[in-house]
Amino acid sequence: MADMPFIKNIKREENVVELKPWKSIHQTITKPMVTGAGPMEIKDSALAMGFAHITAPDVLGSPTHVHPFDQWIYLIGAEDFSEFDADVDFTLGDEIVHINYPCYVFIPKGMKHCPLDIKRVGKPIIFVDASITQEASVRPETLASTKRPTYQALNNKD
């Protein structure tokens, strides 16, 4: 994550943050992403969300891992939320879930998950990663107010 660009959102009002775009670490995500970094921007906020515009196959979130907070992943059509023209395999626990419809996936803390294998994209989709935690996964290490939890990789030796 060392090469991830610095998120430079701007706090406009006490509870209003202007989102500034940044470049994804994934080469296939070519449009700018936006991320709300929770407590780093608004003291009492614990919600962090990242939004990406997906136009090409990719593998996100690899390797399979767990973390100490709940997470929600949304997959929706980019132009019309209900239009979903993509094929995705998502590892949840010990199963692979095949997704070809708009949805959200709840991942309770401690559940093995990922990779999110986006196999085909017929029409662009929106990927949303949401966590309610002081140190959400969408935040680069250098931006965390305290040390971010380390993922526990489950399918490699690291």
- Is 29 a domain residue? yes
Check pLDDT > 80 for residue 114. yes
Q: Using 50, 70 and 90 to split pLDDT, how confident is the model at 6? A: low
Q: Return the pLDDT at 23.
A: 85
Total structural domains within the chain: 1
- Is 157 a domain residue? no
Mean pLDDT computed over 53-80: 93
Q: Return the pLDDT at 121.
A: 97
Averaged pLDDT score across all residues of the chain: 82
Check pLDDT > 80 for residue 135. no
- Is 3 a domain residue? no
Q: What is the pTM of this model?
A: 0.78
Q: Which CATH number fits the domain that encloses residue 26?
A: 2.60.120.10
- Is 155 a domain residue? no
Q: What are phi and psi of 7, to 5 degrees?
A: -80, 125
Q: Return the pLDDT at 92.
A: 96
Nearest to 102 by CA among 70, 137, 122, 127: 127
Q: Return the pLDDT at 149.
A: 41
CA 131 to chain centre: 9
User: CA of 24: how far to CAs of 92, 112, 133, 154, in Å?
Assistant: 24, 24, 22, 24
Domain carrying residue 78: 10-144
Q: Return the pLDDT at 134.
A: 63
Mean pLDDT computed over 56-79: 92
Rounded to whole angstroms, how far apart are CA atoms 152 and 158?
9
Check pLDDT > 70 for residue 44. yes
- Is 116 a domain residue? yes
Nearest to 100 by CA among 83, 88, 82: 88
- Is 5 a domain residue? no
Mean pLDDT computed over 24-53: 85
- Is 39 a domain residue? yes
Q: Using 50, 70 and 90 to split pLDDT, how confident is the model at 109? A: very high
Using DSSP bridges, classify how beta strands 47-54 and 34-36 pair: parallel, antiparallel or unpaired: antiparallel
- Is 156 a domain residue? no
